[in-house]
Amino acid sequence: IVASSLCHAEIFHLFEGEDKHGFPTVLGHEGAGVVESVQPGVTDFKPGHKVKCLDFYFKKIFKIRVLYCYCGDISTPRNVTMNETNCDCLFDMSVKRPHGRALVSENCHGFQTFSRQSEGSVCAVFGLGAVGLAAVMGCKNAGASRIFAVDINEQKFEKAKVFGATDFLDPKAYNKPISEVLAEMTNGGVDFSLESHFNSFKSFQYLNFLCSCVKGWGMSILVGYTDVDFSARQIQLISGKTWKGTLLGGKPAVVSDYMTGKIKLDYFITHKMDLEQTNDAINLMKTGQWYISHFFTSG
């Protein structure tokens, strides 16, 4: 493992109750590295391949104790043994910068989801972490005419502007639901909305606004990883609106776009930290003293 980025989903796992499988739990699931050796029967990879870890859930038995690997892989130690199905070759061996490879996991679903929307669309992104900012970048690359960046941390708006956001909204600044503000500013609602917050309370707030800010035949997309219940009024959906979730996929296209300069994964890095600074990185993430993605270098 060359590098691993910290994901807010791991903070949720630690502090918001998704510990039903118990501890010890090894966190760290957004890693990139170089294959040193392969076992008999492995056909898709060979030594020297530059790979990233896929996100699937499984458990391993380690010295008779159950060791749970969050999202199906471990990316924080320097050397790990990975199942073949939990790796993804990045195909282009000229990808030299390890931090770019690790960030493919962090951002591909946010970017790819919005990069397929139609040109001229009006979009709203709730939550400006790494995934949300990747969605903003996807909107820009797809030719969106207007991109609303919504977050309660106004310090993130400057970074969102770099990625292509055109309008910035802090829900705390209004005495009405932010969905109503968006509807008023867009003559009835946006075409696409995406929620990417990984805090249960804030996600609950945003989910209630997500569909109501979209006009008829628009689409709302859920990315935020939390365990909250939410509801919608039937009248919100009968006008042809679509709700959908997104999680994995699109990595080869993201790598290709990264290599050609179409997307700027390097811009997502705000900190480079040693593994011993993990708790410091977690505190930075919890307190919002960061723009996007914290980054670890193992070893």
Closest CA to 5 of 80, 131, 106: 106
10-57 tens-digit pLDDT: 666 666 655 555 555 556 666 777 788 888 888 777 888 777 665 443
* Confidence bin at 123 (pLDDT 50/70/90): very high
Closest C-alpha to 283, from 14, 2, 76: 14
What is the distance between the terminal CA atoms of the chain, rounded to a whole angstrom?
Answer: 9
- Per-chain mean pLDDT for the chain: 72
Bigger pLDDT: 243 or 69?
243
What CATH number matches the domain at 108-245, 3.40.50.720, 3.40.30.10, 3.30.360.10, 3.90.700.10?
Answer: 3.40.50.720
Under the banding of pLDDT at 50, 70 and 90, the label for residue 150 is: very high
Range from 57-61, 70-74, 137-141, 214-218 carrying the lowest mean pLDDT: 57-61
What percent of the chain clears pLDDT 90, i.e. is strictly above it?
A: 17
Going from the C-alpha of 237 to that of each of 123, 149, 185, 245, 289, the distances in angstroms are 18, 23, 21, 16, 37
pLDDT at 59: 35
Residue count of the chain: 299
Q: Is the pLDDT of residue 297 over 60?
A: no
Asked if the 3-104+249-297 domain carries CATH number 3.90.180.10, the reply is yes
Banded pLDDT at 145 (limits 50, 70, 90): very high
Sheet holding 190-195, edge to edge: 167-169, 146-150, 122-126, 190-195, 214-222, 242-245
Top-confidence residue, 212 or 253 = 212
State mean pLDDT over 187-197.
90
* Domains in the chain: boundaries: 3-104+249-297, 108-245
Asked if the model's pLDDT at residue 165 lies above 50, the reply is yes
Backbone angles phi, psi at 165, to 5 degrees: -65, 145
In the predicted structure, residue 292 carries a pLDDT above the cut 80: no
Q: Answer whether residue 174 shows pLDDT above 90.
A: yes
Distance CA 79, CA 219 (A): 42
**Better pLDDT: 288 or 130:** 130
Candidates 139, 145, 77, 75; CA nearest to 104 is 75
Q: Does residue 109 surpass a pLDDT of 60?
A: no
Structural tokens at position 152: 């309660």
The pTM assigned to this predicted structure is 0.76
Please say if the pLDDT value at position 294 is more than 80: no
pLDDT in tens, 251-262: 667 777 777 877
The Cα–Cα gap between 38 and 46 comes to 6
The answer to whether the beta carbons of residues 31 and 102 sit under 8 Å apart is yes
| pLDDT bracket for residue 198 (50, 70, 90) | low
